Structure 1
Amino acid sequence: MTHRWLHLRLAAPLMAFGGVAIDHVGPTREYPSASALTGLFANALGWRRQDRAKHQALQDRLVFGALSVLPKGETVPLVVTDTQNAKLEKSDRGWTTWGQPEGRAGATYDSPHRRRRDYLADHETRVVLRLSDGNGPGLEELAAALDRPARPLFIGRKPCLPTSRLFVGWVGGVSVHDALAALGIRGRALWPDEGGAYPGALRYDLADLRNWQSGLHGGSRIVYEGELA
């Protein structure tokens, strides 16, 4: 059966798709995770972090694939590393996306707070997405929310503001792989295991799910990564 797929264009001077963080090091993947897309849509819809059941239900319904659009001659995206050093005082407050400054509790730090964050630089990713059956918003509602979001949108981290409209349009396809191919863009892509045979593609276990009740890692799924001609 041919499905209707939401087509997204994620592009920004800097963006981050997260990854398995170790200590103060925050890496980025090449493709968006299921939890990242869930957070993007939830922010556009105006949901709060406390709406855990809504987040979990939406993540459970996502069926998607992603394609890296790289400059001609390039085979891997450009990754830049930001080394952050900050001395945070008890009275310091930070900017938030809901219009109210955010404070912090606890004693003053005696030494700088150090973090390292990786970003994809001048990168573009295309996403095709549909929703499986279940309760919650439909594809049209998600598309409308991206065009008129309840809050400012960012791709991965708050400084990563998109350079263009996220919602591109619609494509058709029986599977995620078919929908990605329907974009007519050559590049490396990631799609879930839907029982097809993909010679030359790498099949592996990807940990990109979140348990929205606990806020921790929530499991993995089988995906394929390979070239789209």
Structure 2
Amino acid sequence: MPRHLLLRLEAPLMAFGGETIDNFGIIRDFPALSMVTGLLANALGWRREETARHNRLQERLIMGMRLERQGRRIQDYQTALLFENDQGWTTQGVPEGRAKSPSYAPQPDGRKALTLQRYRDYHADLSMLIALRLEPSDELPTLDDLATALDHPARPLFIGRKPCLPSRRLFAGWHEGESILDVLRSVPLPTHSPEGVRLQWPDGEGALPGDRVLDLCDERNWTSGVHGGWRPIREGRIRGEEKPA
């Protein structure tokens, strides 16, 4: 049976980013394929400019998730005072300014400024188990390379946003299974869950009674820097006492 790498995400705060609307940074219930790709690439020490490597890793990545502890959602309100001629650094490595507008108001020192506002959502005290494999399995990097990198990352790792530092070891071992769903169902739950736990996995990797098929946009074009395209996934629920068929 195929071998799968287990990844456990736990932190005081995590952010599974969704579509940003204006100044609202919303989050999803499950991490995006692009987020896990970026996490693994960061552990391997790849640079953001190595777009071909990122694209290929994302193409090979087959993963599913099990939400073991829901936690709660909180919203962080962030502000920054920007003066009319201020510039900030961007991920492109060049400074970027803002166009002059009537929004800039005079300050006591005579300069004009505005207050930049951002709202950022976070998951608090959530626990997520991820099962993943790579296809083809013999291409570099291998699953063993990923496991080594997660335990000895080239750079500090974070879960979604830079303040979201893991509170435990990310690499959670190995598990064999015929499919992603088989693995998610057969790995023992850490606690009894009579109400059940939610799962998300790729379509074609097993099915559950009553599950639903959705189209999900969570793949990043690492060359252009934007998300696009849709892939079919399944979402369902299992109870703690259920055993694999």
TM-score relative to the length of structure 1: 0.88
Distance (whole Å) between structure 1 residues aligned to residue 97 and residue 78 of structure 2 = 21
Q: What residue number does 2:198 align with?
A: 188
- Aligned-residue sequence identity (percent) comes to 48
Gaps of 5+ in 2: 105-112, 190-195, 240-245
Q: 1:66 is aligned with what amino acid?
A: M
Q: What residue number does 1:119 align with?
A: 122
Q: What residue number does 2:79 align with?
A: 85
TM-aligned CA deviation for residue 48 of structure 1? 0.8
Q: What residue number does 2:167 align with?
A: 163
SS at match of 1:136: coil
Q: How does 1:1-229 map to 2 (within 5 A)?
A: 2-70=1-69, 76-88=70-82, 90=86, 104-106=95-97, 110-133=113-136, 135-185=139-189, 186-194=196-204, 196-229=206-239
Residue by residue over 1:161-213, the C-alpha shift from the partner in whole angstroms, topping out at 9 and shown as x without a partner, is 00000001001100010010121225111001016442111211111111111
Residue by residue over 1:89-110, the C-alpha shift from the partner in whole angstroms, topping out at 9 and shown as x without a partner, is 637779x9xxxxx884436972
TM-aligned CA deviation for residue 18 of structure 1? 0.5
Please tell me the root mean square deviation across aligned C-alpha atoms, in Å: 2.1
Change (3 A) 1:196 1:45: closer
Report if the CA contact (8 A) 2:64-2:181 is conserved.
yes
Report if the CA contact (8 A) 2:45-2:153 is conserved.
yes
Q: 1:106 is aligned with what amino acid?
A: G
Q: 1:81 is aligned with what amino acid?
A: Q
Residue by residue over 1:115-153, the C-alpha shift from the partner in whole angstroms, topping out at 9 and shown as x without a partner, is 111100011100000001174300000010010111000
Gaps of 5+ in 1: 71-75, 97-101
Report if the CA contact (8 A) 1:57-1:136 is conserved.
no
- Whichever of the two has the greater Rg, that structure is 2
Change (3 A) 1:93 1:198: closer
Residue by residue over 1:71-97, the C-alpha shift from the partner in whole angstroms, topping out at 9 and shown as x without a partner, is xxxxx5411111111124637779x9x
Matched residues, number: 217
TM-score relative to the length of structure 2: 0.82
- 4+ residue segments displaced more than 4 Å: 91-94
